[in-house]
Structure 1
């Protein structure tokens, strides 16, 4: 069932980008770095993209970026955030989509719940910092390294 989404995504993504570009000059996304016991990080595997990613998505109209990351975590991974998420870095995603920006939030206090992604997320799991999956998205890997290894934030995703 999910394989068809990965097959059609390369064809539908340009239409999504064209629509986004016509309806707004810039786009804004959020990703949540949910850290468990200061040793593991939450990653999700989408049904329509390859690899593992930090969970997140676009900021909706009339929504703050903090509210967006909490909504995305709830939708994609069943995570309820128990304290305000902490903004840790901002990145330009120009290489992937001109005009796109991604804000990274850190979440240390949360509760686990049911996945509610309705087919968008194939898997959600916590991984030890020193045992991340081989097929992790490069931008997600760099953000985790910036936090866990003290690397300075790269302004590019």
Structure 2
């Protein structure tokens, strides 16, 4: 995991899309709160997704809806993005301020062991997904994903910023 990865939000198109999405969320929600997880299978591989609308490989996750608990949101996102079911307890690793997305965004970051119930077929949201050994991550894995994995592995101190 020596590569630094690609920035999560880069390029005019991606920045414009994130800006528009967060303006929509501002009307709908006062503050945005999301969940994301480092999902490991029984072999110790990490599950990553590549979205259709932004570049790079990410750990699965998404925004929480009103009246939804963090764990309900996490379970929903893992099912939707990877056909993943949590095995055992979800461990809250840290809470991050995601100033790259907006001045109001926070991420609850979990570590979980998962089992994939069926392969995840590509669709309009997810272009690709899969499990990867930690020493063989895809080239375009985002820098934030790589930082979180280093924090989980004890190779870096936890940051308060995504």
**Which structure exhibits the higher relative contact order, with contacts defined as CA atoms closer than 8 Å and separated by 6 or more residues?**
2
Unaligned 5+ runs, structure 1: 1-5
Secondary structure at the residue paired with 1:84? strand
Match of 1:144 among 107, 129, 149: 149
Residue 66 of structure 2 corresponds to 61
Secondary structure at the residue paired with 2:88? coil
Distance 2:106 2:121 in 1: 25
Q: After the TM superposition, which of the residue ranges 112-121 and 99-108 deviates more from structure 2? A: 112-121
How many residues align structurally?
A: 152
Is the CA contact (8 Å cut-off) linking 2:84 and 2:114 kept in structure 1? no
Secondary structure at the residue paired with 1:108? strand
TM-score scaled by length of structure 1: 0.85
Residues 109 and 19 of structure 1, relative CA distance in 2, 3 Å threshold? closer
RMSD value, Cα = 2.2
Match of 1:88 among 76, 83, 93: 93
Residue 105 of structure 1 corresponds to 110
TM-score scaled by length of structure 2: 0.83
Q: After the TM superposition, which of the residue ranges 105-114 and 26-35 deviates more from structure 2? A: 105-114
Residue 125 of structure 2 corresponds to 120
Residues 42 and 48 of structure 1, relative CA distance in 2, 3 Å threshold? same
1:108 is displaced (CA, Å) by 1.4
Distance 1:20 1:120 in 2: 18
